């Protein structure tokens, strides 16, 4: 089979895959998928708006929560056009540069989400270890610098991936295994050695998601050590209760990610439907559930959303 030269990349197309074995039900499946997108985008947007409007939420914990909401809206918006395009219109074809752009944004926002979860674990540690100096340590300027640092790190790490992929020759048939473009899928397409791309991809995963998850575990070991030093049982319970929502967010993010990694390596011969479902859980479930968890478990967030709607009623 021939290879497409770099000059022909502008006209090279990639074909996405819907939900294997359920193509006939795509119309019905579009309903729960579109509902998830609406819940994710509206729920996270409400959290961002509530934090912006309600002065009571202008604290480090909620500013970090607003950053998390931004990353989850970013992930949802990045996958929405191709996923719904396939389910609604059977639009499987995407131009190569568009696919690279989608891959870059999905991975960049996912990396940012991991970084924000790490920043939130540090926030919880400071709040429990040194509550009297909490706002003095996590000032607005430091929080902004942390947010900019997370963004810069994510963009810097992910930018080489599409650049290197664009240098490779491609075969004439380019079919991906998902309804969105991922690096692990795209490196299977070139008609050339992709060892460098694979090594770079693994290095980025270890330097970002791997390091972030390790530091989150260290943060919670320190938090647990600090909590055990609190004299009263009520004080220990209150301290740990402030971490419940964040622990849920971490588990919602990293457990599906580990599941996807295990499936790609240990269950290569599993049904394509299983691979599609695990990847979908990783990308779709955290943005849907995190706003719900934080709204239910965190009273100030819930009150902030009520305040937001009351302000809208006054304007009307």
Q: Along the 316 residues of the chain, how does pLDDT read in single tens digits?
A: 445 555 456 568 899 999 888 888 999 999 999 999 999 999 999 999 999 999 999 999 999 999 999 999 999 999 999 999 999 999 999 999 999 999 999 999 999 999 999 999 999 999 999 999 999 999 999 999 999 999 999 999 999 999 999 999 987 778 998 999 999 889 989 988 999 999 999 999 999 999 999 999 999 999 999 999 987 888 899 889 989 999 999 999 999 988 887 776 666 677 788 888 888 899 999 999 999 999 988 999 999 998 888 765 555 5
Residue 116: name the closest of 180, 37, 62, 157 by CA.
62
Instruction: Name all domains of the chain by residue range, CATH numbers in brackets.
Output: 14-305 (1.20.1070.10)
Pairing of strands 3-4, 13-15: unpaired
Rounded to whole angstroms, the Cα distance separating 80 from 84 reads 6
DSSP 93: E
Cβ distance 137 to 126 under 8 Å?
A: yes
Rounded to whole angstroms, the Cα distance separating 123 from 259 reads 27
Helix axes 60-89, 140-158, angle to 10 degrees: 30
- pLDDT at position 22, please? 87
Q: Which residues contact 228 (CB under 8 A, 6 or more apart)?
A: 236
- pLDDT at position 7, please? 45
Rounded to whole angstroms, the Cα distance separating 292 from 38 reads 13
Rounded to whole angstroms, the Cα distance separating 118 from 130 reads 18
- pLDDT at position 161, please? 96
Cβ distance 227 to 215 under 8 Å?
A: no
- pLDDT at position 231, please? 77
pLDDT digits (tens, 9 = 90+) for 257-312: 888 877 766 666 777 888 888 888 999 999 999 999 999 889 999 999 988 887 65
- pLDDT at position 312, please? 57
Structure tokens at 63: 């500013």
DSSP 190: B
Residue that is written with structure tokens 């947010």 in the block: 147
- pLDDT at position 1, please? 45
What Cα–Cα distance (Å) separates residue 267 from each residue in 177, 264, 271?
15, 6, 9
Dihedral angle sign, alpha carbons of residues 174, 179, 180, 186? negative
Under DSSP, is residue 271 helix (H, G, I), strand (E, B) or coil? coil
Helix axes 96-129, 211-228, angle to 10 degrees: 20
pLDDT digits (tens, 9 = 90+) for 20-31: 888 889 999 999
């Amino acid at each position: 089979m021939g290879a497409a030269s770099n000059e022909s990349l502008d006209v090279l197309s990639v074909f996405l895959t819907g939900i294997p074995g359920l193509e006939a039900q795509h119309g019905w499946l579009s309903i729960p998928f579109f509902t998830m997108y609406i819940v994710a985008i509206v729920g996270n947007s409400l959290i961002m708006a509530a934090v912006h409007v309600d002065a009571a939420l202008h604290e480090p914990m909620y500013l970090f929560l607003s950053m998390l909401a931004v990353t989850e809206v970013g992930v949802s918006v990045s996958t929405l056009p191709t996923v719904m395009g396939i389910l609604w219109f059977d639009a499987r074809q995407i131009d190569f540069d568009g696919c690279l752009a989608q891959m870059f944004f999905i991975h960049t926002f996912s990396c940012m989400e991991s970084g924000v979860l790490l920043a939130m674990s540090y926030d919880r540690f400071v709040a429990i270890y040194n509550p009297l100096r909490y706002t003095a340590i996590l000032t607005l300027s430091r929080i902004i610098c942390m947010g900019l640092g997370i963004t810069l790190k994510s963009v810097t790490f992910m930018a080489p991936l599409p650049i290197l992929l664009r240098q490779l020759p491609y075969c004439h048939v380019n079919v991906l295994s998902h309804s969105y473009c991922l690096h692990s899928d795209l490196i299977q397409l070139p008609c050339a050695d992709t060892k460098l791309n694979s090594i770079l991809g693994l290095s980025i995963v270890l330097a970002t998601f791997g390091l972030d998850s390790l530091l989150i575990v260290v943060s919670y070991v320190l938090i647990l050590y600090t909590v055990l030093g609190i004299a009263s049982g009520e004080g220990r319970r209150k301290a740990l209760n402030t971490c419940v929502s964040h622990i849920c967010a971490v588990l919602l993010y990293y457990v599906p990610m580990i599941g996807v990694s295990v499936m790609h390596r240990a269950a290569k011969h599993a049904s394509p439907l299983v691979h599609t479902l695990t990847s979908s859980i990783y990308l779709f479930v955290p943005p849907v559930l995190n706003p719900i968890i934080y709204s239910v478990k965190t009273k100030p967030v819930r009150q902030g959303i009520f305040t937001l709607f009351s302000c809208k009623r006054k304007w009307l």
